[in-house]
A and B are shown apart, each in its own frame.
Chain A
Amino acid sequence: MRHLRRSVGLLLCLAPFPALARGQDSQFSLLGPGTPARFESVRARATGGAFAPFDALSWMTDAALVDLRRLTASAQGIASFRQIDLAGTEENVRSTRFPSLLVGAPLAARGRVVVAGGFGTYLDRTYRSVLRDSAVIRGETEAYTDILASDGGVSDIRLAGAWRFAPRIAAGAALHLLAGSTRSSAQRTFDDSATYQRAFEVTDVQHTGLGVSGGAVLDVLPSVRVALWLRSDSELRVSVEDVETARYDLPTTVGGGLRWAPSAELRLAALISQHTWADAGGRNTVEWAVGIEGGAPSTPGRVGVRGASLPFGPAGVKPTELALAAGFARSFSEGRARVDVAFERLTRTGGDLRETVWSVLVGFSLQP
């Protein structure tokens, strides 16, 4: 009980951060509803995401929750440094996020039923674009600078359950409430500021939607596990001052993963999935990942690679991303607490835009 109070206290320390809970933004998604988040814990991220379908703390496969043997709480933080090269013009941006928080616990005897809840990022819409241009006003060419900014995103509030109904098969499902707001602003400043005053507007843009997900994990062999998952999200409704301004059909996701554990200290995993982002005005995407986790369970090391196509980008360009990740973990207090650390180098390319992102992720999980 004492441990439980401590863990809850630690998690409450992160309570102010849900409003900041976002993923990692991209210039490629400026024209879409946002940058899709990755439903991965720090552990999975260190393997390029390959272990996400088998990780109870990731959000990819609800059935993986059955691996929670006791009350578990987790949170993570990510610091990203992104270099943007747009046709030779370089800019560096940085951000810090707390993209997810999860609490789960087995309900029934022998841990056959597990429920979990929490929030994570669904779409990130944080950007501050600076645009230089000019216009002819009153017969004169007036140069100006526009700053279009958005701060916020769409969060995924998840209530999930998983049931191991046979020794080698488990299934899970979840309900996802999509909600969030962005603080959006538009500003124009003329070079001739003595003649033309600055224009500035700011408002809150609200987003709402629903989604359901389900999946199963199957131990086809003692050392081989297969995961399958499906997620379908409804429309994302965008509104300003209670007036609907846009509606996006959110994608359906389907995927599968394979994990092979040839020994107690070595695990390999891979996944492939597809997202129908064409429904939202983008392009359907496919992502894949391959990763390895090795070493003692209390201090494992991880490495992985991930590739994907991106749903949004300029017309006629099919941007892609490739990530290399590595990480490690350390358990404390007889496994009741664990810190996961991951490092990732991500490259997104498309047209004359290239983004290079260095990320440091830290995850905390407690099992009081």
Chain B
Amino acid sequence: VSARSRAWFVAVAFGLACTEDPTAPGRCPDFCPPGQISVVDTILTTVVERDSAFRGYQVPAEATILVASNVPGVIDSRPVIKFQPLGTHVSLPGDTAANQNPILGSDSALVTMTIVRRDTNAENLRLRLYRLPLTLDSSSTFGGLAGPFTDSLVREVNVDSLIALTGRRDSATGDSVRVDTASVTVIVRLDSTQARFVASDSGQLAMGVRIAADAPTSVALGSNESASAPIVVWFVRVDSVGTTTRVSRVTAPLFDSYVVDPPPAALDSTLAVGGMPSARSLVRIALPPALQDSIQILRATLLLVPSTPARGAPIDSFTLVAHAVAADLGGKSPLVVSSVLNDSSYFGLAPVVVGSTDTVQIEITRILRRWATDTAAPHAVMLRSGAESLVLSQIRFQPSRHATLRPVLRLTYTARFPFGAP
């Protein structure tokens, strides 16, 4: 074979290198390949089983916000804050030793709190500051603090009025506000009688907050666990070697929390979600083996019937999250954490409206599809509030032991395609 012949061969062979585009429109039944994709929509009433509720995932003292609610007959929540002690002595520039200048007393103090969430429809929002006993701690209860919250009012500040003022500062009281797109920072000036410096208490201050407005409302204050922690700026008189000097000192919270009435009801057979301390419910789903092996899930919806209307402030409607668990360890089941932001193969979301008794439908399609490929994955989801520790709202659903209103799974799937059929 000559060189030219080989060239012919190679050129033509490569010229015919595979190119493929067999895509063409079809039309059934005349010009349609054999077999059809069949879709089945069914409600599985008994696949949800062995469900139970657990509480205590978040407690108020560890929350990043302090919830203040005033919804008469529904919920009353009051933040409580104990600030760090100021001490009895302070250091001044030029001192040769630490804290050698005794504090003689306070002139005033500025209490700064940041409202990180509020209901702008509830006008005339007022913050009321109460002096609380220094015995305040995580065991304090709403009832135990009822007395100080009744007779120890220190100041009341109308936040909306302050916002409406020119310069957002009340020159008469010294109160002011700063407003940005995400929050409102309220600065309340207390005089020496309101912010008393008691040397025997090392200048420690404990305060409580109640709110009021023209309508039932709820706000969230930044807590010590957030970047918007409340602080107190003390303006004190100091004895500096026989001379009275005025200085300022800042103290941050030593402890903060909130007390709630009514307290969360004890867990029962219902599936509780939300509240504070927060509750979650573990729901196990036992798909029939035939469905696991032979179908492709197009859509899976978990239907939950509330046993009571969702409780909470109207503004505190929240998102219910059905989160896949990495291991089924009951109440301590770890949630699957994805490295991909908003990866819905690990969770489903559904809104829960306070006061509503509508059936909650939560899409868990991608969770079930992941189970089909990850056979080791536990077939269980944890129901939790998407605003866990951020709102006090709570909902309870009928459990699987309920005869008629138990959780059900609505499944839309395709059956196995009849490959090879004539």
Contact = CB atoms under 8 A, between A and B. Distances in A.
A151 B8 CA distance: 30
B17 A91 contact: no
A339 B9 contact: yes
Contact of A239 (B20, B31, B297, B420): B420
Chain A interface residue bracket vs B:
35 or more
Nearest to A91: B24
Contacts of A313: 30
A129 B25 contact: yes
Nearest to A313: B30
B12 A339 contact: yes
Nearest to B420: A245
Chain B interface residue bracket vs A:
35 or more
Contacts of B9: 10, 339, 364
A93 B212 CA distance: 72
B342 interface: no
Interface string A339-362: 100000000000101000000001
A314 interface: yes
B365 A240 contact: no
Interface string A78-93: 1100001011010111
B31 A201 contact: no
A224 interface: no
A137 B39 contact: yes
A12 B230 CA distance: 82
A130 B25 contact: yes
B24 A128 contact: yes
B30 A351 contact: yes
A168 interface: no
Contact of B35 (A6, A133, A186): A186
A86 B31 contact: yes
Nearest to B365: A197
A74 interface: no
Interface in A145-171: 146, 148-151
B32 A128 contact: no
Interface string B18-39: 1111111111111111110101
A281 B35 CA distance: 16
Nearest to A280: B422
10 tightest A-B CB contacts, nearest first: A129-B26, A245-B420, A314-B30, A332-B5, A186-B417, A77-B16, A199-B296, A246-B422, A199-B414, A148-B33
Given A126-B22, A138-B41, A246-B421, 12 more contacts: A93-B22, A94-B20, A96-B17, A96-B18, A96-B19, A127-B22, A129-B24, A245-B420, A317-B30, A339-B12, A362-B12, A364-B9
6 contacts: A129-B24, A138-B299, A186-B35, A200-B296, A205-B420, A336-B1
